Chains A and B, each alone.
Chain A
C-alpha cells in the first residue's frame, strides 16, 4: 500500500453570524455525540469577534469551550447544487452525552466524510453499475432495478424464497433498516437473512435476554454514578470514547469510582483504571465464563450476595417455568431452555450447581483464566464486600464483544448471574448492559420467518439460519448485500470468499452486454447452473464484495444526505439532519428497496421521503425499547411531520421508550436532567416523557395508567421475562470446552485475538482509507506481539510478520440435529462435519508488553487483512454466534516494513501511558 503524505493546514474559515445551523449526531460509535452543522456559501467568512461569527465566540477560543474549529472540522460540500462551507462541530452547548462539546478522534473529524470531489471522498459511488465483460459500467436506475426485480421474482418462483438472501447492516437509521427488512422479511419472506455482524438474526447476548436484562437499559448517568464498574471485553476509552471521557473519567477522578477491566490486552482505559484504584484482569481469551463463575462463587462463599434483592427479584421454579408461558411457539427461550441444561429453580438451586462446578473453584479458575487468584478475589471484594456501615457498594456490569464474541451464550449467562448476585440491574447506578457497538438504528419492518429456517435443534425446535453455512453450501441463488463486506466480517473469511468466487466470477455465465434483456438472460442462466447473482448496495465500492463479486452495484446515500433518525447506546433518539447533496445519482437505501419492491409488484413501498418511512415504522416500535410512536402521534396532532417534531429535540433528543403522560405529571428519577429536551409539544392534556432507564424498579408510573397510544411493557419497572423477575441460568463449561481445547494454541501457535482501536473504530472506510492523518497513524494492518514471543521468533517492532494457520475449523453443511448433543463440537467432528482450512494475514509487528505472553492481537477488520480468517467458522451451537475473538495461528517474520525506520508514518510508542 502506498504511503500518503500530507502536511497539515494552519488556517480554518470561521462561520459568519448568518450561517445556517442544523443539528445532527455523529455517525460513528454507539455514543452518538451531538453535533452542529454550520453551513454558508463559499466566498464568505465570519470574524474573530463574537458578534461576527455563528459560534458567538471571541478568538482565540478558550480550552474546553467546545467551540474551537480545527482544520479537520471544515469541508466544502454541495448543497442545492451550490458550493458551501460546512463545519461539523461537536455541540459545545450539548445538554447530554458530550456535555462540554467533547468528541472522539473519529467524530471530531467527521466533516471530512462529506462528499467533496476535491478530497479523498471523490470515489463515492455515483451511479448504478453493472459488471459487463468484467468491468463495472454505469447504467440508469431503471435498468439496474428492473434487473434486480426480475431476477428476484425469478429466484423466488424457481428456487424458493430461501434462495433469495439479504445480508444487511442493522444500524444505519430506522428509515433504511425498516425498509430493508419490510422488503426482505415481510414481503419476500425469506429466512435467508442476516445482519452485518452475525450469521443469522436474533439477540447478540442471548444470556442477557434469557436472564431478563435488556441490553441497553442503562443511561450514561448510571455508568457515571456507579461506585464500581465491571467492564468486560471492551475498553470504552477506545470504542465508546466520550462515554469514557465525559462519564467514567470524571467519576474516577472526582468521585472515586473504581473500574475493573477484563481484557487480554492492557489498553489505555485499562491502564488508567489500574492506576486509579481499579483493577486490570488480563484474561486468557475465551475464559470469561470461568472467571465469572469463580467471582460469583467467591462472593457467595463470603456471604456478600445481595440477599434482599435476590429474595425479591430472582424467579423461583414456577416463575422460571412461566418462561414457557411465552408459549409453545418456537421462541429462542424455549429451544435453549428445554434442553434442561440451563434453567434453575432459583438462587439456592443456582448456588448448588455453582458449588458443584470445578471451574468455579479459585485454583482451577486461576489456572484456566491466567489471572492470579489474588486478583480474582480482589475484584469480587471490590464489587461485593459491604462497606463498614453495612451498606452495599453500587456495582454495575457492562460488557461488549470481547465477552460475548468469545463464548456467546455461556459468557452472557454467567455474567448475568453474577450481576444478579451483586444486586445489579434495576436501580440507579446499579445497572447491567451492553456498552454497544454500532448505534441502535435497527427497526424491524417484518418478523423473521423462523418456521422456514433450514436449521433445527434436536426435537422440533427451529433456530434461525446460519446464512454463511447456507451460502457456502450453495443454496443461495440471489444475494442482496447492503452496507457490509459480508465475507471479511464473518468467521472463516477465506472459506466464504472462495465460495463467492466460485459462484460468481468462475461461473461461465457472465454479462456480455448492457442491454437489459441480455443482462437478465445471462444471469438467469447463471442461477440455473447453480451460480449466484450478487447485488451490492453501498456508499463506496468495497473490495471484494462490490469490486470483485457483485454483478450490480447500487449507489447509496447516507449520513447528512437525507433526514434520518436513530437511537444511541442510552436509547437517545435524535434527528440526523440532511445538510448536503448526495453525490451523483446516489439514493437512500429506503428509496432503492422501495423502487425495487414496487417493480416486483409489492404494494406499500412507494414512499416519497424519509419522513413517510419514519412515520410508518413508528407503530412497529410500539412495544420495544426504541418506542417512538407517541412522538409521531403527538406530531400528527400538532399538524407537523414526525421528523420535524424530532428536530425540536435538537442534540439532546429524548430517551426512548417515549411515553404519553398527563401534562401535570412530574418525574424526578436520578439522571432525569438528561432525559429529554423541552419542546412544549402537548395535545389534549398530554405531553411526551422519556425514559431514563429500563428496569427502573423504583420508578412510579402515573396513576392514570398508560395514556392514549402508550404501552407500558413490564420491563419498564421489572425485568424482561414472563414473570418480570430474573432467571438465574447455569453456564456449564463442558458445552464449550471441547471446542476450546481444539482451538487453543498448540506448539508454537499463539492466540491471535483481535479488537478495535480508537482511531478507526466504525470509521474504517473513512479513516483508514480516506483520512490522511489516520492513514499516516495506521498505514497498514498491525499485529501486537509480547516481547518474549517476538524474541523467540526474531521479530522487532516495524517488521512485517505473517500470522497463519492450517487448522481453521469450518463446519460443513449440517443443520438438522436429531439427537441431544448433535451440534456439540466433538460430535460434529466425530461425524465428519468439520474440516480444517488454511488462512493467513500479514501486518506490521508492534512488540509490546501490553499484550499477554502467548496472546497476540491484531486489528479486527482491516480491509486488506481480515483477522477473521484465523477464526473458526463454527458458531456457538446454542445461539449461532461466532467466537470472533478466538483466532489462533503461528507468527513469523517476513522482513522489514518501510515504517521501521520512518518518521512520517506509524508510531510504535506505548498506548498505555496514563
Chain B
C-alpha cells in the first residue's frame, strides 16, 4: 500500500485535503481489514487564522476553531510535517486539549527541536506535531486533533479538524 501524505507541499488546497482523505478511506475499504474508520472532512467552516509572513519559527499563535469555544495553536515547526503548509511544509495547527483527560497540552510547553508538544500538565503525554499529532509517550487514545490548513497567497486558513476534540461527542454543532 502506497502512502498518501495529507496536504504535503506548499500549495495544498481544500480539494486536495478532501481527495487525500477520500483516497485513504477508499483504500481501507479495499484492504484486508475493512472499515477501520470513516474519514469525515466535510462541513467545516473556512476561517482565516494568520499570515505566513508573520509566523516565527517555534513561536505558537493561538486561534479558535471550528467555533469560539475551541482553542488551538498555529505553529511553524523546525522541520517539515504531515499536513504542513508553507514553503517548507512546516506550518501546522493543533487543538490544545489533550485527548487523554483534557489537559491543555501547550501549557506543558513546546519543544522546537523535536517538534513535540507537551508534556501535558496532567499526566505527561507528549505529541509529535510533525506526525499529525501522533502520541510520542503517554496515554491519549487518539492523536492530538490536527486543524487542517490551506494557504492562499500569504493567508492561512483553517478548513477542517482531524479527530474528535476533547470533551465533545462531535466537533460541529
Q: A13-B169, A70-B164 are in contact. Are A904 and B132 (CB under 8 A)?
A: yes
**Which residues of B lie under 8 Å from residue A770 when comparing CB positions?**
33
B45 close to chain A: CB less than 8 A: no
Interface segment among A24-32, A103-111, A607-615: the answer is A103-111
B40–A9 CB distance below 8 A: yes
Contact with A along B1-40 (1 / 0, CB 8 A): 1011110100000000000010011011001011111111
Rounded to whole Å, the gap between the CB of B28 and the closest CB of chain A is: 6
B168–A60 CB distance below 8 A: yes
8 Å CB contact of A911 from B134, B136, B164, B169: B136
Which residues B69-119 have CB closer than 8 A to chain A?
69, 80-84, 97, 99-103, 111, 114-116, 118-119
8 Å CB contact of A14 from B111, B114, B169: B169
Question: How distant is the Cα of A105 from the Cα of B123 in the complex, in angstroms?
Answer: 12
B interface majority secondary structure:
loop
B167–A759 CB distance below 8 A: no
B58 close to chain A: CB less than 8 A: no
**Chain B: CB-nearest residue to A100:** B101
Question: How distant is the Cα of A844 from the Cα of B28 in the complex, in angstroms?
Answer: 25
A914–B1 CB distance below 8 A: no
A598 close to chain B: CB less than 8 A: no
8 Å CB contact of B8 from A66, A122, A241, A903: A903
Q: A11-B40, A60-B69, A913-B136 are in contact. Are A3 and B170 (CB under 8 A)?
A: no
**Which residues of B lie under 8 Å from residue A72 when comparing CB positions?**
141-142
A6–B37 CB distance below 8 A: yes
Q: A68-B166, A119-B35 are in contact. Are A910 and B25 (CB under 8 A)?
A: no
Question: How distant is the Cα of A272 from the Cα of B124 in the complex, in angstroms?
Answer: 9
Interface segment among A191-199, A666-674, A772-780, A879-887: the answer is A772-780
Rounded to whole Å, the gap between the CB of B138 and the closest CB of chain A is: 7
Which residues A8-29 have CB closer than 8 A to chain B?
8-14
**Chain A: CB-nearest residue to B44:** A10
Question: How distant is the Cα of A851 from the Cα of B16 in the complex, in angstroms?
Answer: 41
Q: A60-B168, A904-B3, A904-B5 are in contact. Are A759 and B135 (CB under 8 A)?
A: yes
A903–B163 CB distance below 8 A: no
**Chain B: CB-nearest residue to A47:** B169
**Which residues of B lie under 8 Å from residue A816 when comparing CB positions?**
none
**Which residues of B lie under 8 Å from residue A9 when comparing CB positions?**
37-38, 40, 163-164
Rounded to whole Å, the gap between the CB of A533 and the closest CB of chain B is: 31
Q: A120-B36, A268-B124, A913-B119 are in contact. Are A7 and B21 (CB under 8 A)?
A: yes
B139 close to chain A: CB less than 8 A: yes
A758 close to chain B: CB less than 8 A: yes
8 Å CB contact of A122 from B33, B124, B164: B33
B137 close to chain A: CB less than 8 A: yes
A898 close to chain B: CB less than 8 A: yes
B169–A907 CB distance below 8 A: no
A64–B31 CB distance below 8 A: no
A69 close to chain B: CB less than 8 A: yes
A903–B124 CB distance below 8 A: no
**Which residues of B lie under 8 Å from residue A7 when comparing CB positions?**
21, 24-25, 37, 39, 41, 162
A12–B169 CB distance below 8 A: yes
Question: How distant is the Cα of A678 from the Cα of B4 in the complex, in angstroms?
Answer: 55
Question: How distant is the Cα of A68 from the Cα of B98 in the complex, in angstroms?
Answer: 12
Contact with A along B137-167 (1 / 0, CB 8 A): 1111111010000000000000001111011
Interface size on B, residues (CB 8 A): 68
B131–A904 CB distance below 8 A: yes
Rounded to whole Å, the gap between the CB of A783 and the closest CB of chain B is: 18
Contact with A along B37-53 (1 / 0, CB 8 A): 11111000000000000
Question: How distant is the Cα of A317 from the Cα of B143 in the complex, in angstroms?
Answer: 60
Q: A245-B139, A914-B124 are in contact. Are A904 and B82 (CB under 8 A)?
A: yes
Q: A13-B169, A61-B167 are in contact. Are A118 and B35 (CB under 8 A)?
A: yes
A309 close to chain B: CB less than 8 A: no
Question: How distant is the Cα of A304 from the Cα of B111 in the complex, in angstroms?
Answer: 42
Rounded to whole Å, the gap between the CB of B97 and the closest CB of chain A is: 7
Which residues A344-362 have CB closer than 8 A to chain B?
none
With most chain A CB atoms within 10 A of its CB, the pick from B27, B37, B122 is B37
8 Å CB contact of B36 from A6, A65, A911: A6
**Which residues of A lie under 8 Å from residue B169 when comparing CB positions?**
11-14, 48, 59, 69
Question: How distant is the Cα of A237 from the Cα of B123 in the complex, in angstroms?
Answer: 10
**Chain A: CB-nearest residue to B103:** A63
**Chain A: CB-nearest residue to B111:** A913
**Which residues of B lie under 8 Å from residue A80 when comparing CB positions?**
none
8 Å CB contact of A245 from B39, B123, B142, B168: B123
Question: How distant is the Cα of A204 from the Cα of B33 in the complex, in angstroms?
Answer: 39
B101–A63 CB distance below 8 A: yes
**Which residues of B lie under 8 Å from residue A12 when comparing CB positions?**
164, 169-170
Rounded to whole Å, the gap between the CB of A572 and the closest CB of chain B is: 21
Question: How distant is the Cα of A72 from the Cα of B118 in the complex, in angstroms?
Answer: 22
Rounded to whole Å, the gap between the CB of B147 and the closest CB of chain A is: 12
**Which residues of A lie under 8 Å from residue B36 when comparing CB positions?**
4, 6, 119-120, 772
Question: How distant is the Cα of A122 from the Cα of B31 in the complex, in angstroms?
Answer: 13
A249 close to chain B: CB less than 8 A: yes
Rounded to whole Å, the gap between the CB of B78 and the closest CB of chain A is: 11
**Which residues of A lie under 8 Å from residue B161 when comparing CB positions?**
10
Question: How distant is the Cα of A909 from the Cα of B145 in the complex, in angstroms?
Answer: 18
Contact with B along A172-195 (1 / 0, CB 8 A): 000000000000000000000000
B123–A903 CB distance below 8 A: no
With most chain B CB atoms within 10 A of its CB, the pick from A13, A14, A102 is A102
**Which residues of A lie under 8 Å from residue B99 when comparing CB positions?**
70
A603 close to chain B: CB less than 8 A: no
**Which residues of B lie under 8 Å from residue A59 when comparing CB positions?**
167-169
Rounded to whole Å, the gap between the CB of A716 and the closest CB of chain B is: 35
**Which residues of A lie under 8 Å from residue B131 when comparing CB positions?**
903-904, 906-907, 909
Q: A5-B1, A904-B82 are in contact. Are A10 and B163 (CB under 8 A)?
A: yes
B139–A5 CB distance below 8 A: no
Question: How distant is the Cα of A791 from the Cα of B115 in the complex, in angstroms?
Answer: 23
Question: How distant is the Cα of A537 from the Cα of B140 in the complex, in angstroms?
Answer: 33
**Which residues of A lie under 8 Å from residue B119 when comparing CB positions?**
913-914
A374 close to chain B: CB less than 8 A: no
8 Å CB contact of B164 from A2, A8, A101, A272: A8
Rounded to whole Å, the gap between the CB of B131 and the closest CB of chain A is: 5
Question: How distant is the Cα of A60 from the Cα of B67 in the complex, in angstroms?
Answer: 13
Rounded to whole Å, the gap between the CB of B69 and the closest CB of chain A is: 7
A62 close to chain B: CB less than 8 A: yes
**Chain B: CB-nearest residue to A45:** B169
Which residues A60-118 have CB closer than 8 A to chain B?
60-66, 68-73, 100-105, 108-109, 118
Question: How distant is the Cα of A770 from the Cα of B36 in the complex, in angstroms?
Answer: 10
B40–A10 CB distance below 8 A: yes
**Chain A: CB-nearest residue to B7:** A903
Question: How distant is the Cα of A241 from the Cα of B82 in the complex, in angstroms?
Answer: 29
Rounded to whole Å, the gap between the CB of B102 and the closest CB of chain A is: 3
A792 close to chain B: CB less than 8 A: no
**Chain B: CB-nearest residue to A237:** B124
A704 close to chain B: CB less than 8 A: no
**Which residues of A lie under 8 Å from residue B5 when comparing CB positions?**
902-904
Instruction: Enumerate 22 A-B pairs (CB-CB under 8 Å) in ascending A order.
Output: A3-B3, A5-B4, A6-B24, A6-B37, A7-B39, A10-B161, A10-B163, A13-B169, A59-B167, A60-B168, A68-B101, A71-B141, A71-B164, A73-B141, A120-B36, A241-B139, A770-B33, A903-B80, A907-B134, A909-B115, A910-B116, A913-B136
Q: Which B residues lie at the A interface, using CB under 8 A?
A: 1, 3-6, 8, 21, 24-25, 27-28, 31, 33-41, 69, 80-84, 97, 99-103, 111, 114-116, 118-119, 122-124, 126, 128, 130-132, 134-143, 145, 161-164, 166-171
The 7 closest A-B pairs by CB, nearest first: A63-B102, A903-B82, A60-B167, A7-B39, A8-B163, A108-B141, A907-B128
Given contacts A5-B28, A9-B37, 16 further A-B contacts (CB under 8 A): A7-B24, A7-B39, A10-B145, A10-B170, A63-B122, A64-B101, A102-B123, A102-B139, A103-B100, A105-B138, A268-B138, A758-B137, A773-B135, A773-B141, A776-B134, A777-B135
